[in-house]
Amino acid sequence: MRILVTCMVLVLLSANVRSQPEAVSERYRKFINQHINADMSINKCDKEINKLKITKTGSNECKETNTFILATTNLVKSVCKDAGEPYNNLMKSTKPFSIIVCKLKGGQRRPHCQYRGQSRTRRIAIACEDGFPVHFDRDIVHFEN
């Protein structure tokens, strides 16, 4: 009986270890899909958010704000390592990024969401897991001295 319990615990632990990288990569893929688009413009908010089916988490309601980072995945990923610095429980980019902020101006449910886009240059604050960005938290105004 003791051997059976030990074997079951080992199987569960190994399954958990295997699923953790998959969970991170799934969250990373969602982050890329939702926040990285080097070709984004202020006039594409409605089209891109509808195409990508971006909504409030777990619903069909329009998301209030979505930010697109105009960069490559590798540049954004580097914020989790050498191009970022700790910022509360997040990482803040050491250099500013060009971003498009899409703010809801009308509509309640997908696909009727309407957005107004704004172009900004800001540092970004993201959550990282195992060296991968998994959540966009905010953009940060940065003034050079």
Say if CB 9 and CB 2 are below 8 A apart.
Answer: no
Structural domain contains residue 76:
yes
The total number of structural domains in the chain stands at 1
Structural domain contains residue 19:
no
Residue 95 in this model has a pLDDT that exceeds 80: yes
Q: CATH code at 125?
A: 3.10.130.10
Q: Give pLDDT tens digits for 106-143.
A: 878 888 899 999 999 999 999 999 999 999 999 998 76
Q: Give pLDDT tens digits for 7-43.
A: 333 333 333 334 446 777 999 999 999 999 999 999 9
- Give the position of tokens 């979505």: 66
Q: 38 is written with which tokens?
A: 């080097």
The pLDDT of residue 14 is: 39
The pLDDT of residue 107 is: 79
Hey, which residues are catalytic here? 35, 135
Structural domain contains residue 10:
no
Cis peptide before 111 (omega within 30 of 0): yes
Structural domain contains residue 2:
no
Using a 10 angstrom Cβ sphere, with 0-12 exposed, 13-18 middle and 19 or more buried, the burial of residue 89 is exposed
Residues 6+ apart with CB under 8 A from 50: 110, 111, 113
Structural domain contains residue 8:
no
Structural domain contains residue 31:
no
Structural domain contains residue 87:
yes
Say if CB 135 and CB 126 are below 8 A apart.
Answer: yes
Q: Give pLDDT tens digits for 32-88.
A: 999 999 999 999 999 999 999 999 988 889 999 999 999 999 999 999 999 999 999
**Alpha-helix runs per DSSP H in 36-107:** 45-51, 73-77
Give the range of the structural domain holding residue 81, as residue numbers without chain letter. 37-140
Structural domain contains residue 4:
no
Say if CB 92 and CB 98 are below 8 A apart.
Answer: no
The length of the chain in residues reads 145
